[in-house]
Structure 1
């Protein structure tokens, strides 16, 4: 009995799938994920073992990739922002290495946009972003996510199928713990987690959220799609001949098409 649309596909076959939060990490390439102008003075280095790092020319932004294949999250992507070089970071974003790489790309693209806006203006949006939190979570609500507010200062948004979510600390006392926490998969054992610390520009959170709910499918091989949540995935298209019979191609779930935040 077929229990999910991948049942009769060859493991090496390439498919395009939705929703994005269940697609798996995709092909990891730090240069592609970071999308920085490395030919314009952005230092980049990567060891033969895989760890990589990149910096803004002013050294106030640092982004790193630390693969750890034997850990549940397979390693960590980290963004640190410093008011001055070589000082403790003012805010930090961390992603499990199992986070879909396309979502990482959108956050780093938005980060570069903010950096360039600050560089060529008198703004300092990397450290004084006045964007309201609802800019990050309203797109989730318009895409059918549920919303639960608690009196402990947190609100939680869950995907329609319950296999992904966002927790936002709307009442923040102190700076310990993330202001925003995203995950994909079962809450007790998610495929990936992303954490945005207090002080992180809301525009970066919004860029991640908008990419997360986008209805543009992600390209994956069948073997790279997480097994335990395949029943909740849709195949938008297949790009190679199926090896075992014909599996119906399910339409993507109805949702508004979301683009970049700006």
Structure 2
């Protein structure tokens, strides 16, 4: 990898960028992000405006994409889990639409694994996950992230340059509160934020943190990379420009996170 300042670049130039949390959202395609087996009973619907939703065959899992291009975060991706269909959600994950789509893909891949594993387990892993919290943050510490523990019941893991972080509330709080929060960019004005409510399987958060620190670069077009933090990006040798300045219809299928989080 070569350091590339991205100064006066061709806006339609393709690059491969790291770290992932500063690379920008990438090409948004709900079917690619969710990676569910729609040919096996998963339901999918998308409106002309771009809003999309998917449901598991049992209707206990619901994922949605709600684009709002004029608002901060450009909309949201949501995952809701219900102990029984059409009841209040037991836990919820919310991503800004500006979150790198590869991170979303890896979380949804782990969600599908959990869903399928429930069929062969005497525990409902969607709601009885006993995974230890250190499986989320241990990989961050091994990569040199800073660790700050406060007496208010929170601990925060920060990148050395301060351009990304993960916050964990390790003491119980309100049932509908946020257990984990992650962001990329400056803390006071992040490019994206992800929130995992209390009750979210820790395995899903661990899949997110593993994807977050992956050293597999993300393919991006220069104009889609956030400008505020470009100086902190590493990019591979440019791999050509998009003809006519168009964004590709869909990105290559993101590679799975190496290893299983369980």
Global fold match (TM > 0.5): yes
2:77 alignment counterpart: 77
Please give the alpha-carbon distance, in whole angstroms, between the structure 2 residues aligned to 1:70 and 1:235: 29
Query: 1:232 offset after TM fit, Å?
Result: 0.6
1:137 alignment counterpart: 137
Asked if 2 retains the 8 angstrom alpha-carbon contact of 1:210 and 1:259, the reply is no
Tell me the number of residue pairs that the alignment of Structure 1 and Structure 2 aligns.
Answer: 246
Please give the alpha-carbon distance, in whole angstroms, between the structure 2 residues aligned to 1:76 and 1:119: 30
Q: Deviations over 1:96-120 (max 9, x none)?
A: 0000000000000000000000022
1:227 alignment counterpart: 227
2:34 alignment counterpart: 34
Please give the alpha-carbon distance, in whole angstroms, between the structure 2 residues aligned to 1:105 and 1:44: 16
Q: Deviations over 1:69-119 (max 9, x none)?
A: 000100000000000000000000000000000000000000000000002
1:246 alignment counterpart: none
Please give the alpha-carbon distance, in whole angstroms, between the structure 1 residues aligned to 2:185 and 2:261: 25
Please give the alpha-carbon distance, in whole angstroms, between the structure 2 residues aligned to 1:192 and 1:259: 26
TM-score by length of 1: 0.91
Query: 1:200 offset after TM fit, Å?
Result: 0.2
Query: 1:4 offset after TM fit, Å?
Result: 5.8
Aligned residues: CA RMSD: 1.6
2:94 alignment counterpart: 94
Please give the alpha-carbon distance, in whole angstroms, between the structure 2 residues aligned to 1:43 and 1:65: 14
2:205 alignment counterpart: 205
Change beyond 3 A, Cα 1:135–1:229:
same
Asked if 1 retains the 8 angstrom alpha-carbon contact of 2:20 and 2:213, the reply is yes
Please give the alpha-carbon distance, in whole angstroms, between the structure 1 residues aligned to 2:237 and 2:204: 30
Provide structure 1 residue ranges, at least 5 long, that are not aligned to the other structure.
242-256
Asked if 1 retains the 8 angstrom alpha-carbon contact of 2:154 and 2:171, the reply is yes
Mapping for residues 43-192 of structure 1, pairs under 5 Å: 43-192=43-192
1:249 alignment counterpart: none
Other structure's SS at 1:85 match: coil
| Displacement over 3 Å in runs of 4+ | 257-260
Query: 1:176 offset after TM fit, Å?
Result: 3.5
Change beyond 3 A, Cα 1:82–1:112:
same
TM-score by length of 2: 0.91
Please give the alpha-carbon distance, in whole angstroms, between the structure 2 residues aligned to 1:217 and 1:259: 17
Query: 1:175 offset after TM fit, Å?
Result: 1.5
Provide structure 2 residue ranges, at least 5 long, that are not aligned to the other structure.
242-256
